[in-house]
Structure 1
Amino acid sequence: MRKTGNAVALTGMALALAAVPNASYAQSSVTLYGIIDAGVTYVSNAGGSHQVKFDDGIAQANRWGLKGTEDLGGGMKAVFELESGFHLGNGQIANGGSLFGRAAYVGLQNDWGTLTLGNQPDMTQEFVYLYNASAWASGYAINQGDFDRMNGDHLQNSVKFMSNTFGGFQFGGMYSFSNKAGDFHNGSAWSVGAQYQHGPFAMGTAYTQFNNPSGIYGFDPYAMIGVRTFFGRPTVSVDPATGTVTSLYADTPFPVDKQATFGAGASYAIGNVTLMGAFTYTQITAFGESRHMQVGEGGANWQMTPSFSMTGGYQYTHFDGHHWNQLSAGMHYLLSKRTDVYLSGDWLRASQGVDAVIGYGFTPASTTTQADVRIGLRHLF
């Protein structure tokens, strides 16, 4: 999962602002923050073989960012955030190579809420994905193919409003422009959602629709969920001599007309144990036909001591006559308030004829099962 990290003040920014003539920054603040995660993962079957690999940004995506506010008076503030994802193993930029691919927006905030413009998290991320117990247990255990956008996804070129919280209730909505001349619809998206929190109980719901997803949002059905046909069309080619499987949509996405997902989740804390669950219903439309994915999941987090916690979850997925059953578990030990070590694992079984792939994270297996075990280190700043 990709949760928000702790932050520390960027004091050096004050020196830079001092060089700007006539700037008023007495009521302004800028913060630097980030997350660094790395570890070693064992995969039981990746394309027919065991795999041991260095992997990073799994418990949470690696990132660094800047965010700030300026008091404009009269209860109004200007706000901004720039957030960049990266791969620790090779130093490359993540999120399709965009410098601030995780977030880049500016906006205004008052007593009613916040209006922002730019590249921003959708409402599924804001209100539902925190109830994804499996992904809390293991960063690999996102829902199958991320069809339901429960991996913490963003919408580019968007205008977004998030209300403040009133009596435990909060809501929001956004629209993402296609920015294509003569085609307002193709590549556009919109998202709405709400949440309610009261004492130990919390719940949230959201609906997100993407029209003709492409680019980093494009579909590669075999890599995403391990199916060899999608909407009745083949998704792979198989070398008759070696049996090597090659995805037909690794470079050019499968032409999807619409991706629309509804999600709802809830959690309840009982002492040191938090129970959580979620359900998502996603409609994929292509070639004038629709297919539907349903995902139901549940699990719990047990904060055994202030430093040690355990999380476990079960996830069931049904799509186009296929089904997937997945178990996930994880343990985290805090070395400090900002640094922890963890151990996590997943086991997935898919229906006959599907090559199992956990969370769009590995090469699909050559069988209907796949498992992973990971040990990692995470630091927040």
Structure 2
Amino acid sequence: MHKKTSILILLAALAGAVQAQSGVTIYGSIDGGLRNQTNVNAAGDSKLSIGSNGQYYPNRLGFIGSEDLGDGMKVHFKLESGFNTGTGALDNSGGRLFNRSSWVGVSGKWGQLNFGHQYTIAFFTANDYDPFNYKYAYIIPVSAATAGGRYDNNIQYTGTFGAYKVRAEYAPGEKAGNAGTNTAKAVGLSYADGPLNWGGAYSRRDVDGYSDTHYTVGGAYKTGGWRLAAGYMDDKLATATGSDSTTKNAWGGLSYDVSPQLIVTGAYYQTKVSVANIGGAKKLAMLGVVYYLSKRSNLYADIDHAKLSGRSRIGAQTSQTGISIGIDHLF
């Protein structure tokens, strides 16, 4: 009898563990292919590579889950790591296991509130009007220019009210004796209804030695198989030494669904920089093609050409051309 009781207790514990894990999903993506790029250094050398964190879509391995508290309330979390296809190594920048996302929060009819390492409001907002929707993220400048991309110690609120979405965040600097140092704060507003979406966000960071103000606006319109998207970003960095810098990104692009499986996108991105009154520019034109083998797998190819001037040049090199081809799989 004692043995049977122990087995029942063990089975009950296992059943409880399975039930507790029922709201957890393991997911990810892996991207493999080749990229050739010219003029990667001052000598004008070209580079052929396979090892990357995802040419088309950044590699990731993640865990996401939630617990239903009733009455529309949920506790949810997300843990996500990046990795390199060519080597299998984690993209653990700064020794971070979950370098892409690490947050926990609560949601209800009023919206959701999350705490931890997460994407900035500027990142979420600009994604809606990037012609490539952050695909080819390591080639296109938009996602990398979104007010830091991610904040540590971030407290972020998101609320959806009809076609409107409002966001606000605050990331304390955790500096003893000075709560205002190393902080970040932002607000954002987005609209999406039918074929039209638009949005904007304003961010400010106050760090030892400099302050950073950033804003972005843009929109997209889709009709039939066509989608037109355009946006703008302005980032001003004021330093204590007077070596102020400004980065301005402007872009526009058009995509067309040739068929449910085949999508063609063309876009133009212009980045203008000025550091201590010394300017430079990068003008990037890009054409990408995606063919979906299934809902989770696709083949992709792109060709991109950038003209470089001023401080944006690589040594004496004034242009770069890149070609990528590969396969991406979601799991």
TM-score range for the pair, normalised by the shorter chain length: 0.7 to 0.9
CA distance 1:148–1:113, change in 2 (3 Å)? closer
CA distance 1:193–1:65, change in 2 (3 Å)? same
From 76, 86, 96, the counterpart of 1:79: 76
- Alpha-carbon separation, structure 2, partners of 1:17 and 1:62: 37
Amino acid corresponding to residue 373 of structure 1 in structure 2: I
State the SS of the aligned residue for 2:295: coil
- Alpha-carbon separation, structure 2, partners of 1:44 and 1:378: 24
What's the TM-score, normalizing by structure 2? 0.86
From 106, 109, 123, the counterpart of 1:108: 106
Which residue number in structure 1 is paired with residue 282 of structure 2? Answer: 324
- Alpha-carbon separation, structure 2, partners of 1:319 and 1:380: 36
- Alpha-carbon separation, structure 1, partners of 2:111 and 2:196: 23
Deviation of 1:157 after TM superposition, in Å, equals 0.9
- Alpha-carbon separation, structure 2, partners of 1:129 and 1:17: 47
Asked whether 1:36 is paired with 2:30, we answer yes
Question: Does the 8 Å CA contact 1:137/1:312 hold for their aligned counterparts?
Answer: no
State the SS of the aligned residue for 1:133: coil
- Alpha-carbon separation, structure 2, partners of 1:327 and 1:49: 21
Aligned residues: 313
Deviation of 1:211 after TM superposition, in Å, equals 2.7
CA distance 1:198–1:353, change in 2 (3 Å)? closer
CA distance 1:81–1:132, change in 2 (3 Å)? same
From 308, 324, 327, the counterpart of 1:374: 324
Amino acid corresponding to residue 305 of structure 1 in structure 2: S
Amino acid corresponding to residue 74 of structure 1 in structure 2: D
1:86-165 pair list within 5 angstroms: 86-96=83-93, 97-133=95-131, 136=134, 138-143=136-141, 146-149=144-147, 153-163=149-159, 165=160
- Alpha-carbon separation, structure 2, partners of 1:192 and 1:65: 27
Deviation of 1:34 after TM superposition, in Å, equals 0.7
- Alpha-carbon separation, structure 1, partners of 2:12 and 2:56: 38
Question: Does the 8 Å CA contact 1:135/1:142 hold for their aligned counterparts?
Answer: no
Q: What per-residue deviation string (whole Å, max 9, x for no partner) do you get for residues 314-349 of structure 1? A: 112222232221101110111111111111121111
From 34, 51, 58, the counterpart of 1:55: 51
Higher-Rg member (1/2):
2
Question: Does the 8 Å CA contact 1:131/1:267 hold for their aligned counterparts?
Answer: yes
- Alpha-carbon separation, structure 2, partners of 1:39 and 1:24: 38
| Unaligned 5+ runs, structure 1 | 1-15, 214-255, 356-363
Asked whether 1:303 is paired with 2:300, we answer no
State the SS of the aligned residue for 2:128: helix
Amino acid corresponding to residue 330 of structure 2 in structure 1: L
Which residue number in structure 2 is paired with residue 269 of structure 1? Answer: 222
- Alpha-carbon separation, structure 1, partners of 2:11 and 2:140: 41
Which residue number in structure 1 is paired with residue 39 of structure 2? Answer: 45
Q: What per-residue deviation string (whole Å, max 9, x for no partner) do you get for residues 46-68 of structure 1? A: 11211111133121110011111
Question: Does the 8 Å CA contact 2:32/2:85 hold for their aligned counterparts?
Answer: yes
| Unaligned 5+ runs, structure 2 | 1-9
RMSD across aligned positions (CA)? 2.6
Question: Does the 8 Å CA contact 1:71/1:77 hold for their aligned counterparts?
Answer: yes
Q: What per-residue deviation string (whole Å, max 9, x for no partner) do you get for residues 131-177 of structure 1? A: 22267564333328934448xx21111111111x2220011111112
Question: Does the 8 Å CA contact 1:294/1:319 hold for their aligned counterparts?
Answer: yes
CA distance 1:89–1:124, change in 2 (3 Å)? same
Between 1 and 2, higher relative CO (CA 8 Å, sep ≥ 6) is seen in: 1
Q: What per-residue deviation string (whole Å, max 9, x for no partner) do you get for residues 285-306 of structure 1? A: 1224533222111001111111
Deviation of 1:95 after TM superposition, in Å, equals 4.5
What's the TM-score, normalizing by structure 1? 0.76
Asked whether 1:260 is paired with 2:213, we answer yes
- Alpha-carbon separation, structure 1, partners of 2:11 and 2:76: 16
CA distance 1:22–1:132, change in 2 (3 Å)? closer
